[in-house]
Amino acid sequence: MIVTGLSLETLSILVGSVAALHALQLFVDFRRLLASIHHLPGYRTILGSSTVLGNLFPPIPLLTLGHDHSWLSKHGPFAEKGLDIISTAAWWPKAVGSLLIADVNVIKDIVWSRGERFPKPLGKYTILTFFGENIIVSEGNEWKRYRKIVAPAFSERNNRLVWDATIQIMLDLFDTMWAGQEEVVVDHSVDLTFPIALFVIGAAGFGRPISWKEDTVVTLGHQLTLKDALRTVTQDLTIKLLVPRWAMGLTKRFRRARLAFDELHQYLKEMIHERRGSQYEDNNDLLSSLLSANDGDNLSKSEVKLSDSELIGNIFIFLVAGHETTAHALSFAFALLALHPDKQEEMYQHIKRVLPDGRIPTYDDMLSLAYSSAVFNEALRMFPPVCIVPKTSAEDTTFTLTDANGTLKTVVVPKGLDLTLDVPGLHYNPKYWEDPFTFKPERFLGDWNRDAFFAFSGGKYLNIFLGTSLKMPIPIGYRGCVGRKFAEAEGAAVLTILISRYIISIKDEPQFVGETYEQRKARVLDARSILTLAPTRLPLVFRRRT
């Protein structure tokens, strides 16, 4: 018994010693981390925000920043510290730090650097590779290979197709689902914008036009519609990432997620198979362009065709990026117009001036319908689809910027440090956006700081002259969003045709009687980030104009 007691005591001492040594090592590493960034002001927490455990909690001082820290805080932390670069340092499970950046010149330096100075940490994008490698989860020569193949799919001809498909989808909505109704109530805006965006990407992207009446019909050989499969997949990506395959049958939600992933994978394979069996050279849609660009006859001897897995992976990314981000942006745009009826009326009058005869707008009208594009851009500024863009410093370097007092500051960046381009911090930075919390579409009608608008990632702009004195800013950036014009054409078309025929308002609900305007605004504009930033619940009413 004595021996056993001594053994347990010895074991306890040993375990305690190991724990103490580990804690000491963590402390030393943490202090070393702070020293490496010269104790740049910022956040000090126990849990790293990039860890699963750190993301389970809401923001708790000293414990974790939480998952939606950048969105919830916007430019506040930078204003508090008086500098548009602040640091984060976490102690457990290992000492890890990062820089949060909301300075436009530093962000430009990072985005436009050549030679892999600030590469994308691909390990953080694993969640987007379930269906195959793709353009988002790539760097260097691999990214250039993907870009060369997919770029022809986003042509001016395809943008025109996007506009025409969007207008037709909206007219179909008015003439079928909303026919004979003076007032249409939508309990949550995404129940409307999600199918709109999916139908557009289906028609203009993959040659699969879907009518509103057909939307509820499950395709032969499937258990879910494409819309339901895609929506479940985007909502439950983290389940797929964290739950092993053998455990996916344990709960109803897990089983639904497993089915959705299997169904979507089957839909994507069918798209490729069907299109390969047809003549797609004369089609303008994205899938035809993608397959055509990937044909052996269109590739040089040194270029490698995309595998089926890579094709499916890229199509999945375009489906997600081409519908979810636009659906959410349109939802926020609807809400902002409903909350600001004066801006909605200004937009309506603008449309009437461009289309005095009430005709259907065409793609050639897009440049003239500037207010529609301005509303879409302002919604993207205030509610950026992606709130953080992670990078890594591949070398020891420094950033130079001015603080709130105009004093030049130098920030030391050690090799290997994580960098976070803080999009809400940039979009709500008063240095670049006057009165940033106010909905002002007109800020996008004249000259504006294009470098401080990061909804489509970074990119320089080239002013392309289109016939008259009109100029269109075209992104030519190193890694700017290849589908930017696709989204802009869709957003402007939806807003134009909808506002020309309907007035949007917030749905009145008895449980919210007596709330102030500010309370209502906070409620309907509440958002959370899942895969992209999404409205929590946004009830709307659409009343036909007389």
Same domain, 477 and 437: no
Establish if 133 belongs to a structural domain.
Answer: no
Cβ contact 256:248 at 8 Å: no
Whether residue 488 is found in the same domain as residue 502: yes
- What is the sign, positive or negative, of the torsion defined by CA atoms of 489, 492, 496, 498? positive
Tokens 């509103």 identify what position? 212
- CA dist 55 and 67 (Å) reads 5
Other Cβ atoms closer than 10 A to 321: 24
Residue where a domain stops, chosen among 445, 466, 487: 445
Residue at 152 is within a domain: yes
State residue 446's pLDDT score. 87
- Establish if 266 belongs to a structural domain: yes
Q: How far is CA 459 from CA 85, 106, 107, 321, in A?
A: 21, 14, 11, 18
CATH of the domain at 225: 1.10.630.10
Is the residue at 131 inside a domain? no
Task: Indicate the number of domains in the chain.
Answer: 2
Task: Report the residue count for the chain.
Answer: 546
Is the same domain home to 423 and 299?
Answer: no
Integer Cα distance of 183 and 473 in angstroms: 38
For residue 246, give its domain range.
142-385+455-544
- C-alpha distances (whole Å) from 210 to each of 168, 411, 487 are 11, 53, 19
SS (H, E, C) 274-293: HHHCCCCCCCCCHHHHHHHH
Binding residues for heme: 481
Beta strand 471-475 pairing with 461-465: antiparallel
CA distance readout (Å), 16 to 5, 21, 24, 52: 16, 9, 12, 26
Would 474 be classed as within a structural domain? yes
Rounded Cα gap, residues 24 and 191, in angstroms:
52
Phi-psi region of 54 (alpha: psi -120 to 50; beta: other; left: phi over 0): alpha
| Cα–Cα distance, 524 to 520 (Å, whole number) | 6
Q: How far apart are CA 376 and CA 71, in angstroms?
A: 19
Look-up of token digits 């600030």 = 118
- State whether 148 and 296 are in the same domain: yes
Are 282 and 331 part of one and the same domain? yes
Whether pTM exceeds 0.85: yes
DSSP 360: P
Claim to verify: residue 274 and residue 412 sit in the same structural domain: no
The pair of three-digit structure tokens given for residue 336, joined into one six-digit string: 């902002």
Residues 395, 365 share a domain: no
Q: Do residues 364 and 424 share a domain?
A: no
**Pairwise CA distance, residues 2 & 45, whole Å:** 44
Same domain, 248 and 158: yes
With beta carbons less than 8 A apart as the criterion, state whether 290 and 314 touch.
yes
- The DSSP 8-state label assigned to residue 419 in this structure reads E
Residue 388 exposure: Cα atoms within 13 Å on the Cβ side: 25
What kind and span of H or E run contains 540? strand 540-544
Average pLDDT for consecutive 10-residue bins of the chain (546 residues)? 62 85 89 96 87 72 88 97 96 91 96 83 80 84 81 81 94 95 97 92 80 77 88 82 85 92 90 74 68 69 75 83 87 98 98 95 96 98 94 96 96 96 97 97 94 75 30 40 85 98 97 95 92 92 96
The whole-number pLDDT of residue 441 equals: 98
Parallel, antiparallel or unpaired: strands 408-413 and 397-402 = antiparallel
* 91 and 187 together in one domain: no
Is the residue at 28 inside a domain?
A: no
Q: Give me the pLDDT at residue 1, please.
A: 46
Asked whether residue 85 is domain-assigned, the answer is: yes
Statement to judge: residues 355 and 222 lie in one domain = yes
What tokens does 424 get? Answer: 């809400």
Q: Are residues 412 and 356 in the same domain?
A: no
